[in-house]
Structure 1
Amino acid sequence: MEFDIGWILLGLPLAFMLGWLASRFDLRQLRAENRRVPQAYFKGLNFLLNEQQDQAIDAFIEAVQSDPDTSELHFALGNLFRRRGEYDRAVRVHEHLLSRGDLSDKDRDRAQHALALDFLKAGLLDRAEAALQRLEGTAFESQARLALLAIHERSRDWPLATAIAQKMQQSQQGDFSTRQAHYLCEQAQTQIAEQDWDGATQRLQQALQTAAQAPRPRIELAKLQLRLGQAPEAVATLTAMGSETPHALPLAAALLAQAAQAAGQERQVLHFLCQHYENAPSLDVLDSIVALEPLAGSAPLQGRMWYAHHLKKEPSLVAAAKWIAGEALEHPQFQPQVQRALDHAAQPLTRYRCAACGFEARQHFWQCPGCQTWDSYPARRIEEL
């Protein structure tokens, strides 16, 4: 049987036509898939901009399923899960990214940082610490150190917090000397509770050397000196603080008045407080002056007249309530009701307010219990701000 070459001539165009049709079909399918992925991505972005997180998550999941190799979609999805508080799902997304062998070093560091944030937000501090330590030497090193510092502060591990703060200061990430002084003061508080007087004194002296401009080491040292019966030393410590950091004297005014009485130096301290008050009027300094004035007997004013004098300098409901407490009203039967109303209205004005988060408290805090920020409470009360 002879082979007919005509079949070959007929089959070649047919094969070409079938190949062309197959390529067109694959190209159309590829284009359709490429259109679906950006469409789902942009739909998710639109939901996100409209703060519709549930719909945005659904759209991003659809986009990830269509193109599982897209790392940006995984990052967007993981961040959304974390913002919604679904930390286990965020962890799975970022751990999946880290398990990929084709991930670039830059994206791997980014995924490691995101995973650390997942653990941190979930309160898994041990796993967060381990994840953050892996970021040493990467582009996220600074952010990781700040997060580690927050972890050590939260767990009150002051030696480790000090080590991180020293690293950050050496790498010129900021001045952490005042914060290191706070850490030393916190350790001194523990030693005082254990009655380790010498160790606490050494800690506070070290804190003073670490941050000479910080008021807390001197205030804590003066408290310890007064407790140990070293009243003259406490007076010297607090007057030095008032001279070097006068803005913080209101925090130590009551303690200074107490130390002055114990040391028999009422006259000298009263003169010091009066000078400071004339330069920077303060309610706390004013209260200490009023307390010392009967013992020293050398003040230009006497007793409650200091509060009337304060009202000439600046309006103050707190000072007015304290002044009127000893005044005889025209109708004395209404004195208790009027005084109670004034004290009630003035009470919120005597609080301290965090400058970072607005958390208010009756006492002054070196670290805000609301936002954990250091030195965010001004030395003055709300009425004086």
Structure 2
Amino acid sequence: MIEWLLLLLPVAAASGWLAGKRSAETVNADSHSQLNSAYFAGLNHLLNEQPDKAIDTLLNALKVDSDTVEPYLALGNLFRRRGEVDRAIRVHQNLIERPYLSSSQRGQALLELGLDYMRAGMLDRAESSFLEVLKRRSHIGITLRQLLDLYQQEKNWHQAIAMAQKLHEESGEATESMIAHFYCELAEQHWAQKKAVETTRFIKQALASDWRCVRATLLQSSLAMEKGDYKRAIRCLRQVERQDPDYLPEILKPLSECYQYLEGQDKFFFWLTEASKRHPGCTSLVLARAAYLQQRGEQKEARYFLIEQLRVYPSVEALQQLLALGVPEDIEAASEPWSLIEEVASRLLKAKLNYVCGFCGFGGKYCYWQCPGCKRWGTVKPLAVGT
């Protein structure tokens, strides 16, 4: 009950003071007396642990206009932050019904009501409130962002694209990368439905929005591989290096498969060698080169290569691959230090995160195109790439 007093009394006092000031200015003693009665009636309801009645009493007694709207907006916001969404909705609905609000204040009340509905999971009502705010050309930036968030929750990608484009037009905010991911979502939906033409169209739109969209290029390569067009898939996968080299680990497996189908593993190794020169210390490239040497039966060369790389660019992954090649001839098979190193490397690798968000630091074992933490698009990247 003390918490309710802390919530309501400051708002009630502020409203009572403003209304009392207005009454004094208009020399309306009856109105002032009525407000005082309502104020103490509200306190009585609070003391009797009847907060809903206290809200009704205070809202009904005071004439809400430009003088008193701010305290009530604050009250509604306090309720929402505390999770009392039903009460927040009542306060904001009461404000909207009052005839004496300015256009800006009515827009603010509608926006707050939309936020209440969002918090309550009532997305249809939230959408209606936000769209009404936009019609009034009020609070455009924040309203567009709320609608953008809403349409993402609903997976309504066409509307999300429209809102992102409008947000860019209104505020100049960069939304190209986000829009590209929305097109990728549409592409994946249509690919699952075996609609190749539509899938290709959405991928092209994604790249038109943001040519650096790695996700769209990976989708392109997957489509090409599905059709057996491995040369095209290789061209797409190699494009990723130019778009964002941080995603190199994502292309190595499919790229190797494509070269295998074309019986061009030597060409793959040549590309690995050249890419390693462009990105020294890239752990994934190191591992792929060592694996290729191992596949050709060049165990000693693979071991020497990994040792040289570990001296310059140490990594747990390369260490584990070195250990997997077996115990060198000059070390006893049962050597306790060697076994201990092998066990420690294995444990470290299991505990290691594979991906991390460059914005909020969220880490995980899998790649998320939208970060589960900060909800940003394209910020979760592989950790396997060195500097």
Q: TM-score per shorter chain, which class? A: 0.7 to 0.9
CA RMSD of aligned residues (A): 3.5
Instruction: Give the C-alpha shift of residue 81 in structure 1.
Output: 0.4
Say whether the 8 Å CA contact 1:116–1:128 is kept in structure 2.
yes
Instruction: Give the C-alpha shift of residue 106 in structure 1.
Output: 1.3
1:221-278 alpha-carbon deviations (Å, 9 max, x no partner) = 1112112211111111111221343333232222222222222332233222222223
Using a 3 Å threshold, how does the CA distance of structure 1 residues 341 and 163 change in structure 2: closer, same or farther?
Answer: same
Distance 1:227 1:129 in 2: 40
Distance 1:78 1:266 in 2: 65
Using a 3 Å threshold, how does the CA distance of structure 1 residues 75 and 262 change in structure 2: closer, same or farther?
Answer: same
More deviation in 301-310 or 223-232? 301-310
Using a 3 Å threshold, how does the CA distance of structure 1 residues 61 and 233 change in structure 2: closer, same or farther?
Answer: same
| 1:54-93 equivalences in 2 (<5 Å) | 69=64, 70-93=68-91
Using a 3 Å threshold, how does the CA distance of structure 1 residues 191 and 305 change in structure 2: closer, same or farther?
Answer: farther
- Given residue 285 of structure 1, which amino acid in structure 2 is its aligned partner? L
The SS at the match of 2:133 is coil
Distance 1:187 1:92 in 2: 38
Residue in 1 that maps onto 2:94: 96
Instruction: Give the C-alpha shift of residue 85 in structure 1.
Output: 0.6
| 1:328-343 equivalences in 2 (<5 Å) | 328=327, 329-330=331-332, 332=334, 334=336, 338-343=341-346
Return 5+ residue gaps in structure 2 as ranges. Answer: 1-26, 40-48
1:194-222 alpha-carbon deviations (Å, 9 max, x no partner) = 22233322322332222212211111111
Say whether the 8 Å CA contact 2:127–2:147 is kept in structure 1.
yes
Say whether the 8 Å CA contact 2:141–2:171 is kept in structure 1.
no
In our comparison, the structure showing a higher alpha carbon Rg is 1
Instruction: Give the C-alpha shift of residue 166 in structure 1.
Output: 2.1
Residue in 2 that maps onto 1:19: none
Distance 2:311 2:228 in 1: 39
Say whether the 8 Å CA contact 2:286–2:318 is kept in structure 1.
no
The SS at the match of 1:135 is helix
Using a 3 Å threshold, how does the CA distance of structure 1 residues 30 and 184 change in structure 2: closer, same or farther?
Answer: closer
The SS at the match of 1:171 is helix
Say whether the 8 Å CA contact 1:267–1:296 is kept in structure 2.
no
The SS at the match of 1:232 is helix
Residue in 1 that maps onto 2:17: none
Return 5+ residue gaps in structure 1 as ranges. Answer: 1-24, 38-53
Residue in 1 that maps onto 2:354: 351
Say whether the 8 Å CA contact 2:356–2:382 is kept in structure 1.
no
Say whether the 8 Å CA contact 2:247–2:382 is kept in structure 1.
yes
Distance 1:285 1:123 in 2: 46
Residue in 1 that maps onto 2:366: 363
Distance 1:130 1:64 in 2: 24
Answer yes or no: is 1:139 the counterpart of 2:138: yes
The SS at the match of 2:101 is coil
How many residues end up aligned between the 2 structures?
A: 339
Residue in 2 that maps onto 1:314: 313
Instruction: Give the C-alpha shift of residue 116 in structure 1.
Output: 0.6
Answer yes or no: is 1:285 the counterpart of 2:285: yes
Say whether the 8 Å CA contact 1:254–1:285 is kept in structure 2.
no
Distance 2:339 2:296 in 1: 31
Say whether the 8 Å CA contact 1:188–1:200 is kept in structure 2.
yes
Distance 2:53 2:343 in 1: 59
- Given residue 352 of structure 2, which amino acid in structure 1 is its aligned partner? L
More deviation in 81-90 or 179-188? 179-188
Say whether the 8 Å CA contact 1:282–1:380 is kept in structure 2.
no
More deviation in 332-341 or 363-372? 332-341
Question: Which of 110, 121, 124 is the matching residue for 1:123?
Answer: 121
1:151-194 alpha-carbon deviations (Å, 9 max, x no partner) = 11111111111122222233343222222221221122122222
- Given residue 383 of structure 2, which amino acid in structure 1 is its aligned partner? R
Residue in 2 that maps onto 1:258: 257
- Given residue 381 of structure 2, which amino acid in structure 1 is its aligned partner? P
Distance 2:191 2:287 in 1: 28
- Given residue 330 of structure 1, which amino acid in structure 2 is its aligned partner? E
Using a 3 Å threshold, how does the CA distance of structure 1 residues 169 and 378 change in structure 2: closer, same or farther?
Answer: same
1:35-87 alpha-carbon deviations (Å, 9 max, x no partner) = xx9xxxxxxxxxxxxxxxx9xx9999998798563211111111110001110
Distance 2:223 2:296 in 1: 25
Residue in 2 that maps onto 1:198: 197
Residue in 1 that maps onto 2:15: none
TM-score by length of 1: 0.77
The SS at the match of 2:302 is coil
Distance 1:120 1:156 in 2: 15
Residue in 2 that maps onto 1:17: none
Asked which structure has the greater RCO (Cα within 8 Å, sep 6+), the reply is 2
- Given residue 332 of structure 1, which amino acid in structure 2 is its aligned partner? A
Q: Give structure 1 regions of 4+ aligned residues with deviation exceeding 6 angstroms.
A: 57-66
Say whether the 8 Å CA contact 2:176–2:209 is kept in structure 1.
yes
Say whether the 8 Å CA contact 2:141–2:170 is kept in structure 1.
no
Instruction: Give the C-alpha shift of residue 365 in structure 1.
Output: 1.3
Distance 1:352 1:91 in 2: 40
Distance 2:91 2:229 in 1: 61
Say whether the 8 Å CA contact 1:318–1:349 is kept in structure 2.
no
1:116-174 alpha-carbon deviations (Å, 9 max, x no partner) = 11111111111111111111152311111111111111111111111222222333432
Distance 1:365 1:237 in 2: 21
Residue in 2 that maps onto 1:186: 185
